[in-house]
Amino acid sequence: MEFHFDVDALLGERVTAVDQHLQPPGRRGPGYTATHRVDLQQQLMTIIDEMGKASAKAQNLPAPITSASRMQTNHHVLYILKDNEVKTAGKGAIIGFLKVGYKKLFLLDHHGAHNEVEPLCVLDFYIHESLQRHGYGKELFQCMLQCERVQPHQLAVDRPSEKLLCFLRKHYNLQGTIPQVNNFVIFEGFFANQHAPVRKLPPKRAEEEIKPYSLTDREFLKEEVEPPWPFNQSHSLTRSSSLGNSPVRTCLKPFLNEQELLRNLRLCPPHAAAHHLLNGEPGGPAAQRRRTRGSAVGQDGLVAQRSSYSRYGNPAPLPEGVAGGAERRAESSREPLRRLQDSEGRTMITSQDPSHPALLPQPGGTVRHSEGTSPPTEPALTDRTKDPGIREASESKPSGRGDPVDCLPPRFDSRWYDRAGVPWGKQLSWTVAGVSRDAQWIHYKQEYRNTRPW
Ligand SMILES: CC(=O)SCCNC(=O)CCNC(=O)[C@H](O)C(C)(C)COP(=O)(O)OP(=O)(O)OC[C@H]1O[C@@H](n2cnc3c(N)ncnc32)[C@H](O)[C@@H]1OP(=O)(O)O
């Protein structure tokens, strides 16, 4: 990778280690001033930013995980390998880089026990495409191992790519992994000798919060799904960006305008976070994991952030004032609702309980009736249920009554009502980008959306 300035002079050695101070170690002539220093630092930052972008592209990441600004805010070390042999117009070139750093992790050992450790982690590693498989990666990695005085099996690797796994297998015989619930990969022998660099952590202070699983450097890349209005206004789930801080659950703020609230609640598709809030379910990782079916193993760090994890007890109960709170509790003992679709594609909500609030007259001409008073016609499969994805969702949640349409996903819980007594999960259509969509479509999109950033 070439630059318009003299990389050779800037970096000096073949391999340069850079920390958060971003001090270029290169040659300093007699007339070296503060202005020069700023210029050189700017050049170094340009190199880091460009290499970070190239690495992200090589790994199909949506954004770089290595940049000058991220280097300044983290205690990472960047090893930069330069080409001082093949000079490009006398300025040299960058071959690649390797970023490492110590991280507090909760890692499982062979017995499945959690260990709070702080190993050196491989965070980002890139060799320019034109120079891969020429031994440069090994040269850089070897240099890092010597500088950090660490053995390969003592490292934790942050979500390694296939290429990196092959690399570690070939050069360091690292094959057997110890399964983890986060995105870090550790190898056999990791726990065998826990002397340096696996740091002994100081005793925890009484009030110090812990996170259940470890965050990777790549967590910020994950798709952030903003809850629908008004939950994005309420700050009820305050996400902390700092490592180790659990999110804090506070009371929902009073809503702004009741009319506006009701109108928007009906327009907004149910969101997992909103559902979670309204149902007041315990936000345990297991419960969350069930909702993130299809996502990669190792979502737990993110899940823990999102689920208001606290070591000090259960999540706060849902405040009475929250829309649907009292009604929802009352509804929990009611007969379950059923949704049927007739041969003309009309949707019907039915229940054996004629006084069920969901059977109140609804806008939009939806047919709702209690069972016994007006039996539904035989349900028919719609065109969409011929869609393999939808069919799979339907078949995976049988109603137990042989009804292929009565397969409402768990998110659309019948106990979930707004203030007007309309069950949110039973809303029949939402307008998405100007197109009317129904609950099954929304569910399909949620279930099969790829939550991985790449
Ligand atoms: C935590 C993380 O950073 S994950 C991200 C790792 N980075 C990437 O995936 C970016 C793209 N890849 C690269 O930049 C490089 O391939 C690196 C950094 C993984 C390895 O650097 P290289 O200079 O290619 O390694 P080096 O030449 O020393 O060793 C080559 C060995 O690496 C592995 N390797 C390198 N490229 C590939 C590849 N395209 N496919 C499979 N294995 C590969 C192989 O084991 C290879 O040995 P082989 O050629 O005999 O099969």
Question: Would you call 7 helix, strand, or coil by DSSP?
Answer: helix
Q: Whose CA is nearest to atom 4 of ligand 1?
A: 160
Instruction: Provide the domain count of the chain.
Output: 1
Decide which of 126 and 415 is more confident: 126
Q: Is residue 20 assigned to a domain?
A: yes
Buried b (16+ CB within 10 A) or exposed e, 25-64: ebeeeeeeeeeeeeebbebbbebbbbbbebbbebbebeeb
**Is any ligand 1 atom within 6 A of the Cβ of residue 58?**
yes
pLDDT at 284 over 50: no
Q: Which of 53, 81, 132, 216, when mutated, tests ligand 1's pocket best, judged by the most ligand atoms within 8 Å of its CB? A: 132
Cα pseudo-dihedral 235, 240, 241, 245, rounded to 10: 180
* Full residue range of the structural domain in which residue 73 is found: 7-187
Distance from the alpha carbon of residue 69 to the mean position of ligand 1, in angstroms: 26
Question: Would you call 105 helix, strand, or coil by DSSP?
Answer: strand
**Is any ligand 1 atom within 6 A of the Cβ of residue 158?**
yes
pTM score > 0.90 for this model?
no
Q: Which atom of ligand 1 is nearest to the CA of 124?
A: 3
Q: Is residue 235 assigned to a domain?
A: no
The pLDDT tens digits of the residues spanning 226-280 come to 555 655 554 433 333 333 333 333 333 434 455 555 555 444 444 444 444 444 4
Tokens 């983890």, residue located: 180
128 is in an annotated binding site: yes
Distance from the alpha carbon of residue 304 to the mean position of ligand 1, in angstroms: 32
Distance from the alpha carbon of residue 132 to the mean position of ligand 1, in angstroms: 6
Do 8 and 92 touch, CB atoms closer than 8 A?
Answer: yes
Q: Whose CA is nearest to atom 19 of ligand 1?
A: 164
Question: Which is nearest to 156 in space by CA: 202, 200, 108, 113?
Answer: 108
Distance from the alpha carbon of residue 286 to the mean position of ligand 1, in angstroms: 35
The whole-number pLDDT of residue 18 equals 95
Q: Which CATH number fits the domain that encloses residue 118?
A: 3.40.630.30
Secondary structure letter of residue 89 according to DSSP:
T
Secondary structure letter of residue 320 according to DSSP:
T
Q: Which of 163, 218, 219, when mutated, tests ligand 1's pocket best, judged by the most ligand atoms within 8 Å of its CB? A: 163
Q: Hey, how many other C-beta atoms are within 10 angstroms of the C-beta on 324?
A: 22
Q: Is residue 293 assigned to a domain?
A: no
pLDDT at 191 over 50: yes
**Is any ligand 1 atom within 6 A of the Cβ of residue 161?**
yes
The pLDDT tens digits of the residues spanning 161-181 come to 999 999 999 999 999 999 999
The pLDDT tens digits of the residues spanning 326-350 come to 344 444 444 556 666 656 666 566 6
Q: Maximum CA pair distance of the chain? A: 97
> Which DSSP string corresponds to 123-192?
EEEEE-GGGTTSSHHHHHHHHHHHHHT--GGG-EEES--HHHHHHHHHHH----EE--SSSEEEETTTTT
**Is any ligand 1 atom within 6 A of the Cβ of residue 57?**
no
Report residue 325 as tokens. 């709170």
Q: What is the ipTM of this complex?
A: 0.99
Cα pseudo-dihedral 163, 167, 169, 171, rounded to 10: 170
- pLDDT band of residue 391 (cuts 50, 70, 90) is very low
**Is any ligand 1 atom within 6 A of the Cβ of residue 122?**
yes
Q: Is residue 278 assigned to a domain?
A: no
Q: Which atom of ligand 1 is nearest to the CA of 55?
A: 10
In one-letter notation, the amino acid at residue 111 is H
Q: Is residue 146 assigned to a domain?
A: yes
- pLDDT band of residue 355 (cuts 50, 70, 90) is low
390 is in an annotated binding site: no
- Terminal Cα-to-Cα distance of the chain (whole angstroms): 24
pLDDT at 383 over 50: no
**Is any ligand 1 atom within 6 A of the Cβ of residue 163?**
yes
Q: Is residue 447 assigned to a domain?
A: no
213 is in an annotated binding site: no
Q: What mean pLDDT comes out for the span 37-61?
A: 94
Q: Is residue 62 assigned to a domain?
A: yes
Q: Is residue 212 assigned to a domain?
A: no
